[in-house]
C-alpha cells in the first residue's frame, strides 16, 4: 500500500474527452510564431533575419547563458517577421514568424541515428542543451541544468513524473501508450547521465492501461513502475517524491537536496529523440479539450502553431468558450486571445465553458477550514487570503509561510465562499518580492 501525501483534492477528471483518442499529427500551419523565450532563464537572441530561408530543426535563436535553451525552426520556410507577438505566459514576447514553404525539409545532418551508449555524459548533456529541451510538464526549466546537479549533491534516484494529475490532460497518458519504447530509452539515457541505477515511474491509478503498458515496457530494466492513488496535486515534484520515495523535500530546498531528479514524460521522449536521432525539440503532444471544443483531441503539434490553428484541427468550438487555458485547469494560464502560440511547455489547450468554470460571487471567508484540510503544503490558505486582501503581505511572509505555497489551487477549488485565495497569495508574493528588490537597490546605492 502506497502512503499518499497530506491534503489534496479529487477534481472531476474530465479525461474521458481524449483518453481513448490516439495522438494525431496536426496539419502543418501556414505560419508559425516562435517566441525566443519559452523557458525559465535567459531569453535567446534571434540569429536569423527577416527574409532568411530556414529549414526544420535549424537554430533560429540562442543564448550564451548556461540557464537558457535555444530555439529551433519547427517548419521550413521564410522568416517573414521578427517582432513582439502574444505569448501564453509573458503576455508579449519577441517572436520569429516563419511562413511555411510546404516542403517540411530538415536542416542538414538530421535526422541521424546514433548509439547513446557510446556517448559520454557531457556529450549527452550538450546534445540535450543544443536540442532546446526544457521541462515539458509546464515548468519549462532547461533540462540540461536539471541533469547537472552540483557535485556535492549526491543523486541516487530518478523519478519519471507520469502522474498527469491535472484534469482534462491526457497527453502523457497517450504518450505512454504509444511512445513506450522512446520513453524507456529516454529514461535509460537520463539514468546514465545522472549515474543512478534506481528509478521509479509514478502513474496515477486512473490510467490503468498506461500502468500495464509501462510495466511491460520497463520489464527487466530495474525501473519500477508504480500505480499511485489518484489525487491532485500528485504531479507536483515534492508530492511525487514523498509518495514514491517517502522523502520530504525540506521547505525552501530542491528535489536534488534529497538526492532525486524528476522529469516529465514528454521531456524523456524529447531526450530520446534528440540523443538517438539528433532531432531538436520542435514539436510536442498537446491535449486540446474542454466542453467548448468540438472534437477534443491529442495532437502532435509543431512549436509555434497558434492556438487558433490548433483548435481548428479539432473542428473549432461548439459554443463560445468563457476561458481559454494554456495547460491544465488547476495551474494553467488563462489566455486573452487565440493568437498565442504553442510553446515547449504547453501540455494542453482548454476551451472551458461557464459551466466548466463554475465561478461564483466571492464572499468573506466563513472559516470552514476546508482549505487547511486540502493544502498539500501544510499552510493556512484562509489566513493567507485574508492577509493578502488587507495588504498585510509582510505578516503573510513572516507568520504564515507565504513562500511555501506552491499555488496548486486546491484551496480555491474547495472554497465554498469562492475566494480567490491563490490570487491573494500571488499578490502578497509579488509585493514582498518588490519590497526585497527595492531594499537591494537601496543597499547598492
Residues 357-396 that bind other proteins (CB under 8 A): 357-360, 363-370, 372, 375-380, 382-383
Please report, as residue ranges, which positions from 168 to 227 form the binding site for other proteins (by CB under 8 A): none
The answer to the question of residue 163 lying near other proteins (CB under 8 A) is no
The answer to the question of residue 356 lying near other proteins (CB under 8 A) is yes
Closest CA to 173 of 28, 14, 295: 14
Question: Among 333, 392, 394, 395, which residue sits at the site for other proteins (rule: CB under 8 A)?
Answer: 333
Residue 297 vs residues 153, 169, 227, 286: alpha-carbon distances, Å: 41, 10, 25, 8
Residues touching other proteins: how many (CB under 8 A)? 80
Least distance in angstroms from the C-beta of 153 to other proteins = 17
Question: Among 111, 222, 246, 416, which residue sits at the site for other proteins (rule: CB under 8 A)?
Answer: 416
Which CB atom, from 209 or from 295, has the smaller least distance to other proteins? Answer: 295
Which CB atom, from 106 or from 427, has the smaller least distance to other proteins? Answer: 427
Which CB atom, from 423 or from 432, has the smaller least distance to other proteins? Answer: 423
State the angle between helix axes of 180-194 and 171-178 in degrees (0 to 180), rounded to the nearest 10. Answer: 100
Least distance in angstroms from the C-beta of 273 to other proteins = 30
Compose the 219-258 pattern: x for residues touching other proteins by CB under 8 A, - for all others. -------------------x---x-----xxxxxx-----
The answer to the question of residue 90 lying near other proteins (CB under 8 A) is no
Can you tell me the distance from the alpha carbon of 242 to that of 381, in angstroms, rounded to the nearest whole number?
21
Least distance in angstroms from the C-beta of 400 to other proteins = 8
Least distance in angstroms from the C-beta of 427 to other proteins = 9
Cell of 428: 502578497
Closest CA to 179 of 217, 209, 211: 217
Which span (15-23, 60-68, 192-200, 351-359) binds other proteins, by CB under 8 A? 351-359
Least distance in angstroms from the C-beta of 432 to other proteins = 17
Which span (46-54, 147-155, 259-267, 418-426) binds other proteins, by CB under 8 A? 418-426
The answer to the question of residue 302 lying near other proteins (CB under 8 A) is no
Which CB atom, from 43 or from 376, has the smaller least distance to other proteins? Answer: 376
Least distance in angstroms from the C-beta of 248 to other proteins = 6
Which CB atom, from 240 or from 269, has the smaller least distance to other proteins? Answer: 240
Can you tell me the distance from the alpha carbon of 154 to that of 256, in angstroms, rounded to the nearest whole number?
8
The answer to the question of residue 422 lying near other proteins (CB under 8 A) is yes
Compose the 118-157 pattern: x for residues touching other proteins by CB under 8 A, - for all others. ----------------------------------------
Amino acid at each position: 500500500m502506497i502512503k499518499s501525501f497530506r491534503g489534496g483534492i479529487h477534481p472531476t477528471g474530465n479525461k474521458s474527452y481524449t483518453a481513448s483518442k490516439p495522438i494525431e499529427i496536426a496539419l502543418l500551419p501556414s505560419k508559425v510564431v516562435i517566441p525566443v523565450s519559452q523557458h525559465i532563464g535567459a531569453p535567446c537572441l534571434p540569429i536569423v533575419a527577416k527574409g532568411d530561408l530556414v529549414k526544420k530543426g535549424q537554430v533560429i535563436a540562442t543564448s550564451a547563458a548556461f540557464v537558457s535553451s535555444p530555439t529551433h525552426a519547427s517548419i521550413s520556410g521564410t522568416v517573414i517577421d521578427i517582432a513582439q507577438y502574444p505569448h501564453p505566459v509573458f503576455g508579449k514576447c519577441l517572436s520569429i514568424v516563419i511562413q511555411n514553404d510546404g516542403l517540411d525539409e530538415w536542416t542538414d545532418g538530421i535526422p541521424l541515428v546514433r548509439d547513446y551508449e557510446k556517448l559520454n555524459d557531457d556529450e549527452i548533456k550538450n546534445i540535450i542543451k543544443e536540442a532546446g529541451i526544457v521541462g515539458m510538464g509546464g515548468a519549462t526549466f532547461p533540462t540540461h541544468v536539471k541533469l547537472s546537479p552540483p557535485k556535492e549533491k549526491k543523486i541516487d534516484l530518478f523519478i519519471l513524473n507520469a502522474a498527469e494529475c491535472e484534469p482534462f490532460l491526457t497527453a502523457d497518458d497517450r504518450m505512454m501508450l504509444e511512445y513506450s519504447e522512446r520513453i524507456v530509452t529516454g529514461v535509460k539515457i537520463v539514468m546514465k547521465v545522472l549515474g543512478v541505477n534506481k528509478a521509479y515511474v509514478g502513474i496515477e491509478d486512473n490510467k490503468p492501461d498506461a500502468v500495464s503498458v509501462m510495466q511491460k515496457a520497463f520489464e527487466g530494466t530495474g525501473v519500477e513502475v508504480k500505480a499511485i492513488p489518484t489525487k491532485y496535486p500528485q504531479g507536483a515534484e515534492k508530492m511525487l517524491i514523498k509518495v514514491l520515495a517517502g522523502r520530504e523535500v525540506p521547505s525552501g530546498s530542491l528535489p536534488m537536496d534529497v538526492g532525486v531528479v524528476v522529469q516529465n514524460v514528454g521531456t524523456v521522449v524529447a531526450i530520446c529523440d534528440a540523443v538517438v536521432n539528433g532531432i531538436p525539440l520542435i514539436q510536442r503532444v498537446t491535449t486540446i479539450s474542454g466542453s467548448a471544443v468540438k472534437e477534443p483531441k491529442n495532437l502532435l503539434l509543431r512549436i509555434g502553431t497558434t492556438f487558433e490553428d490548433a483548435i481548428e484541427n479539432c473542428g473549432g468550438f461548439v459554443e463560445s468558450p468563457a476561458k481559454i487555458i494554456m495547460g491544465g485547469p488547476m495551474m494553467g494560464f488563462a489566455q486573452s486571445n487565440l493568437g498565442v502560440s504553442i510553446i515547449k511547455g504547453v501540455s494542453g489547450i482548454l476551451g472551458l465553458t461557464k459551466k466548466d468554470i463554475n465561478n461564483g460571487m466571492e464572499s468573506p471567508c466563513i472559516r470552514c477550514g476546508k482549505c487547511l484540510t486540502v493544502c498539500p503544503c501544510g499552510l493556512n490558505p484562509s489566513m493567507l487570503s485574508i492577509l493578502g486582501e488587507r495588504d498585510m503581505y509582510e505578516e503573510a511572509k513572516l507568520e504564515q509561510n507565504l513562500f511555501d505555497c506552491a499555488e496548486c489551487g486546491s484551496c480555491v477549488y474547495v472554497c465554498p465562499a469562492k475566494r480567490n485565495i491563490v490570487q491573494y497569495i500571488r499578490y502578497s508574493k509579488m509585493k514582498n518580492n518588490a519590497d526585497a528588490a527595492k531594499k537591494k537597490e537601496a543597499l547598492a546605492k
